[in-house]
Structure 1
Amino acid sequence: MANGRPSGSDGSDGNDGHDDGGRRGGLGGGSLLTHLLTRGLVLAIVVGIGYLTRPLWHGLVYSVLYSPGAAVFGGGAALAAVVLWLLPPGVLGDGGGGASRARRRMDGLEDSDNPIGLLLGMDGAAGRKLRLFVGVLGVLVVVAFLVGVPAGALEQRTLAQSTVADATELDEFPEANPDNPRVVPRMVADVTTRGSVSYRQHRLGTSDIARTEDGSLAWSYAIQPDGFRNQLLENQRGVLVTDMTRMDDRQIRAYEEDFTYGEGMLFQRSADWNLKTTDYFARYDDDAVEFSHEGRPYMYYPKTVHEWHLTPLPHTTPTWDGGALIHPDGTIEHLTPAEAADNEVLDGQRLYPTTLTRAEMDAMGYRNGIVNQLPVVGAHEDEVEVARLPADADNTQPFVIDLEGERMSYVTAMEPYGADTRGLDEVWFADAETGEYTYFGTGDDTLTGPERAMGIARSADSRTNWGQNFVITEPVPVTVDGDLWWHLKVTPTDFTDVTRNVFVNADTGSAVEIRDDDAVREFIRGTVTEEDLGPIDGEDGDETDDVDAIYYVLVTDDNGEVIERIPVEPGQETIIVEPDDERAAGNETATG
């Protein structure tokens, strides 16, 4: 000591740094035990809270368990966080002392220069743990990418090859059920149904397809609480179904009974929360199928699980795991596929997940291997892809239709790989009850796809003001006498009605128009033929397409409806239109 001051330059005794470093660089036996117990208690509390709120983390946990890339990143990050949390401070180096502090200053790592440490109020040990954790995360990101990319490709390949191996090829298209045509599109059903009911504390949920007790197909809705307060306190009121097979005399039925666990209810009162707490290691990606049985409402949720494959590299594939049937009283039955098929309440309903069907069809491009579908080196031999639909189609694949014998099926139209291909290559059918696949290959024939069918329907009726007053929507495949037809609907742009149905032959491209519900059934049944119905364009069977017109004169009424369409042929220099009455005068319009 000199002049009463410590010999150290910072005013401390020369041995203080060493002694302090010894005290802070490690923990004694009692202190180590206290540290581990304290940290372990905090970790247990966090795990307990996580368990009680486990439905909130279901997607993250499931991904870590069944996704190779997520398992590497999420599992590695969780393990690193736990280890660093329990690790005593001194294990990572001296937490204090003059020499250690001097080294940190030289390395630019002093806490006062560490903005993260300052922001979080961390001491030196916590700062070092944080920097180490960030470094581990960086490594895990790279490893997860290297693992996830090949695992994703292998998942697609395995899924496609297993789907093809279990599928049966058909010699002809399966016949559609003429008693259950899809006449009412989803948008029309949503608009007209919501406009026909009145609930003050409830609203209709997302529409889906179910079978009614009389065997017909219907759009179904959950009558769920509306508004935050009601979602917290009120219950789902039941289900509502509206017939999709006809526009005339369409029936809307409500089966009202409070659900203990339902749609639109929050937290532990919701169906989703209770599904995940009762079977955590499954996914519920499909919307509920809402239906009635013996006058009582029910909901069914298809379940999907993933299976691990260890060769040639670890990867997983989704598979069907049955479903969960929710009763209004809160009973939840978790059923295997066989149990669901044998359940009396579920008789005739859709059991197989549509999301799994979509995943299996999206993977079909990999059925000839991974290399075959690569953009640069792939040969693209026999490669197919799901047929594209225009944005205004108001539909997505797979299409849900009813086949003969009241067997619902998911239908997916596949087209050859390529940006300029729109013809059909294959049509796949998945049994909605068993998940069994069948498919029809077109061979050398070229069949019209849904996008082209919509164009044919529009061009066949040039009198309609497409896009402004009317739209063609929801192409759905149906089979009539072994031929594939696209069933389309013409609706006003406000989706308040279905003005007519249009059928386009996928083989010949011919189109017919039907305005009557019963006639739609007769056409699908085959008792009314294309010749009986006549051409789609022209009045009273006049073949206006045979006229070599350079433009048409359209005579409209006060409402803008076309009352006459007069062709003007080449060389015809003058045409005189004489209105039948004063109201029609001045409404003549020439179109090219």
Structure 2
Amino acid sequence: MSSQDPDPFSIESDVERWQVVAGAVVAVVLGILNFPAVHGALYGLFVGTPALLQWAAVALVVGAIGYRRRSRPLVMAAVAVFVVLGLFAGPIVGGIYAHEDVADSMGNEATQLDTLPNTSTENVRMLPRSVADNYAQSSMQYPQYRLTGSDITYRNGTYEWSYGIVPDAFLVSVLGNQRGAMYVNMTTTNKDIATEETRFTNGRGQLFFDSYRYQSVLSAPLERHAWDTTFNARANGTSYIAHATTTYEWKVRLFPLPQLYAVPQFGGVEVMRPSGSISHLSPEQADESALLRGQNVYPYSLTTYRVQSMQYVHGALNKWFWKEDVLKVATLPEGGNEWPLVVPTDTDNGLTYFVATEPTGSGNGVYQIWTFDGQTGDVGVQQYDDAQIGPQRAIDFVSRNPEVNRLSNAQAVSPIPIVKDDALYWHVKVVPRSDSGVTYTAFVNAGTGDVTILEGDDPVYAFLTKAEVAAIENETSGQSGPSASDTTVRVVVTDANGTITGTQNITVPEGGDVQVTVANDAPGSASADGNATATRSG
């Protein structure tokens, strides 16, 4: 080979070198374009898991000493420290320390409740998410755009399901903007939809540098962004997008393993206006903000983390071996909502998060219900001496009810905790499998298992405001039959299991009363050999 011939090995080395450089450049570009996702991963890795940095620092010091002394055992020890403690044992132990720390603080901060917050009688969560999604999708009239996932928002004195109207096609996502928001009234089973067109400079569904998430992370890089608590809203003439953030407080514990650990906390709320300007509100400022009044701004993920930490109330060993007072989050039916369940209540801030728990191995009975203020995160707990029926069993009770069971193409969904006269009920909706509407609304008494089936909106609101469990409907003067001053009482007959075996409407004249007796030899009839009389008292 002459001296003029190229060295093939040198050419291959150059090619491999350029491939590495090109790969690195591509990785950096993709990392920059997907900065929110990269930021979340790095923040959780280095800030949320300080064990990695702690033991990496220890390994670095040991390795440096070993290298300086030419000590192979020290170098190997440094590698072992980083792998065993930095990547495995340290993060696990730090996570246990954090859960135990939160369990202690929850025990000190939680208010022992005599009764759960009563459900709002003005804003009842009537419309399940699946039906609201169907209503919203069927009303979507914007080509090249789609709807985001839904969340609860407060607008014009009413709670609604909110959806961002965001770009769908790739080029529209790159060059276009979020077009506005759609709101579906959740306080009625009827289709009540409002669309608000507002162009956001940096909106949801936009890509790269114009993305709402991208700009939010740039504005607050030292916080972790709780994207699961994101909503569109409008208040005081201003449209905006908001989401919660969390931070970590580093603490140290020396025994049994010296370890730094991170405790998650409520960081605040990011509010973005259509112009792209961002305001970061501390938890205290968010609670006082007129713009956020009535909104659910406390992070969902932090709520469930705090409740799950109560498994460590007596330490990790008790959680794994003795299981004294060890709780688990109650099971929700598949395809429904996730904890926490957000319910309008008569509290000052309007929204309460509910998380039901049950003792380990207890089946589906509710033992404790934890509540969180939707804005401040203030925590309370209601403990029951007798186990209450849980959401999964409530669905089963409603599904077996004769009025529901006879429907071949319907299903019971979305059990929501409702508190009426200090009693806990599960508010269940019976919907067609097409999610095209609400057929029935059911209330399951969590203490007794009694099931009340109602149809329409008015009986539901009557159920929550009347002292009696039976639904009461007042006839209007424009209808035939009883006069406007008469009252129709719906008698609901149940067996020992709480299953409805029959119903009958009885008209009570003005100033009259009603007495009902039921014979046991004619099941399925509301008053078969029994007597139902109405007498005028004056």
Shared topology, TM-score over 0.5?
Answer: yes
Measured against aligned partners, the alpha-carbon deviations of 1:350-389 in whole angstroms (never above 9, x if no partner) come to 1211111011112111112211111xxx221112111112
Match of 2:175 in 1: 233
- In structure 1, what is the Cα distance between the partners aligned to 2:146 and 2:124? 27
Measured against aligned partners, the alpha-carbon deviations of 1:279-300 in whole angstroms (never above 9, x if no partner) come to 1011112241211113432111
Match of 1:67 in 2: 49
Match of 1:573 in 2: none
CA contact (8 A) 1:157 1:369 kept: yes
Aligned-pair distance for 1:409? 0.5
Aligned-pair distance for 1:197? 2.2
Match of 1:306 in 2: 248
CA contact (8 A) 1:410 1:429 kept: yes
Match of 1:325 among 256, 267, 271: 271
Aligned-pair distance for 1:458? 1.7
- Counterpart AA for 1:397: W
CA contact (8 A) 1:73 1:137 kept: no
Cα separation, partners in 2 of 1:227 and 1:76, compared to 1, 3 Å: farther
Cα separation, partners in 2 of 1:287 and 1:229, compared to 1, 3 Å: farther
CA contact (8 A) 1:477 1:487 kept: yes
Q: How does 1:411-430 map to 2 (within 5 A)?
A: 411-418=354-361, 420-430=362-372
- Counterpart AA for 1:371: L
Aligned-pair distance for 1:524? 1.2
Match of 1:357 among 303, 323, 342: 303
- In structure 2, what is the Cα distance between the partners aligned to 1:289 and 1:76? 43
Task: Find out whether 1:194 has 2:140 as its counterpart.
Answer: no
SS in 2 for 1:188: helix
Q: How does 1:84-483 map to 2 (within 5 A)?
A: 140-143=82-85, 144-213=87-156, 215-248=157-190, 250-285=191-226, 286-312=228-254, 313-374=259-320, 378-392=321-335, 394-405=336-347, 407-418=350-361, 420-443=362-385, 445-461=386-402, 464-465=405-406, 469-483=409-423
SS in 2 for 1:507: coil
Task: Find out whether 1:511 has 2:416 as its counterpart.
Answer: no
- In structure 1, what is the Cα distance between the partners aligned to 2:93 and 2:201? 44
Query: CA RMSD for the aligned pairs?
Result: 3.4
- In structure 1, what is the Cα distance between the partners aligned to 2:324 and 2:405? 42
Instruction: Looking at secondary structure, tell me which structure has more strand per residue.
Output: 2
SS in 2 for 1:452: helix
Cα separation, partners in 2 of 1:533 and 1:439, compared to 1, 3 Å: farther
- Counterpart AA for 1:304: T
CA contact (8 A) 1:512 1:534 kept: no
SS in 2 for 1:540: strand
Match of 1:574 in 2: none
Gaps of 5+ in 1: 1-42, 84-90, 94-132, 553-563, 565-592
- Counterpart AA for 2:378: E
- Counterpart AA for 1:281: L
Match of 1:492 in 2: 432
Cα separation, partners in 2 of 1:463 and 1:319, compared to 1, 3 Å: closer
- In structure 1, what is the Cα distance between the partners aligned to 2:395 and 2:149? 26
Match of 1:534 in 2: 491
Measured against aligned partners, the alpha-carbon deviations of 1:315-346 in whole angstroms (never above 9, x if no partner) come to 11100011100101101001101111122211
Cα separation, partners in 2 of 1:338 and 1:57, compared to 1, 3 Å: same
CA contact (8 A) 1:537 1:545 kept: no
- In structure 1, what is the Cα distance between the partners aligned to 2:78 and 2:25? 23
- In structure 2, what is the Cα distance between the partners aligned to 1:456 and 1:425? 19
Cα separation, partners in 2 of 1:529 and 1:223, compared to 1, 3 Å: same
Match of 1:501 in 2: 441
Percent identical residues: 30
Deviates more, 1:54-63 or 1:65-74: 65-74
TM-score by length of 2: 0.77
Gaps of 5+ in 2: 1-23, 472-488, 493-499, 507-516, 526-538
SS in 1 for 2:178: coil
- Counterpart AA for 1:66: G
- In structure 1, what is the Cα distance between the partners aligned to 2:328 and 2:519? 35
- In structure 2, what is the Cα distance between the partners aligned to 1:45 and 1:186? 40
TM-score by length of 1: 0.70
Cα separation, partners in 2 of 1:388 and 1:53, compared to 1, 3 Å: closer
- Counterpart AA for 1:265: Q
Cα separation, partners in 2 of 1:69 and 1:541, compared to 1, 3 Å: farther
Aligned-pair distance for 1:69? 4.3
Match of 1:576 in 2: none
Match of 2:5 in 1: none
Aligned-pair distance for 1:489? 0.1
Aligned-pair distance for 1:534? 3.2
CA contact (8 A) 1:512 1:533 kept: no
Cα separation, partners in 2 of 1:539 and 1:56, compared to 1, 3 Å: closer
- In structure 1, what is the Cα distance between the partners aligned to 2:30 and 2:129? 41
SS in 2 for 1:180: coil
Aligned-pair distance for 1:529? 2.4
Aligned-pair distance for 1:155? 1.4
- Counterpart AA for 1:503: F
SS in 2 for 1:391: coil
Match of 1:520 in 2: 460
- Counterpart AA for 2:272: I
Measured against aligned partners, the alpha-carbon deviations of 1:421-442 in whole angstroms (never above 9, x if no partner) come to 2211111110001110111110
SS in 2 for 1:199: coil
